[in-house]
Amino acid sequence: MKIEVPTMNGYLFDRYSKFAPADQKIEGKPSRSFPIFVSDVPKDAKNLAVCFYDYDSVPVCGFTWIHWLAANLPVKDIPADISQHHQNIDFVQGYNSNISKFLPKDSGPVLGYTGPMPPDKTHNYSLTVYALDDELELKDGYYLNEFLAKVKDHIIAKTTIEIPSRAK
C-alpha cells in the first residue's frame, strides 16, 4: 500500500497547519484536514483508518501529540477537509490531544483533525494509514488506546510516511 500527501517544497501545505487562514481554523487551531492519496490497497480491504501524530512534540509538551484519528473510511482517496465536512462519507473520528487534562480548558476542538502548530522548529509528523478487513466498532469520540485495541486484529496492510510542517 502507498500513501501520498501533497506538499510544497517538502512541507505540509500551509492551509493545513498553523498558517491556515482564519476561516479554516476553529478556536485558533487549523481544522482543514489534508487530502491523502491511497494506492495499491489490498483487494480484501474493507475500509481505511488514519492516525496522525507529532512525536517531536514530546520535548515541547511532554507527550506525543495526536492530531487526528479517523476510522471506517472507504477504500479510496481521502479528500481534503473531510474531518469537518464529511462530504457524504460515513466514518468515525477520535479525540485529538486537545482533550488532554494537561492543557487548559478550551484549548481547541477535541474531536477530529487539529492541524500542526509547531512552536519551536520544523516538526516531522507521522501519518499512518491502515487497510482493514472489517469495520471497527467505534463511535465518534474514541481514544487512541480504544482505537489500538480494536484495530490490532484487523490490519491487512499499513503504511507510514513523515510529513514535515514548518514553525516559521
Q: Residue 61 is which amino acid?
A: C
Q: Which CATH class is domain 2-165?
A: alpha beta
Closest CA to 127 of 41, 4, 29: 4
The C-alpha atoms of residue 119 and residue 109 are separated, in whole angstroms, by 18
pLDDT of residue 15: 97
Question: In the chain, which ranges are E strands?
Answer: 2-4, 7-8, 11-12, 25-26, 29-30, 37-39, 47-54, 65-73, 92-93, 123-132, 155-165
What are the beta bridge partners of residue 92? 71
pLDDT of residue 106: 76
Count of other CB atoms within 10 angstroms of residue 39: 9
Residues of the chain with pLDDT under 50: none
pLDDT of residue 103: 80
Q: Residue 147 is which amino acid?
A: F
Q: What is the pLDDT of residues 139-164, one digit of tens each?
A: 999 999 999 999 999 999 999 999 99
- Model pTM? 0.95
pLDDT of residue 43: 97
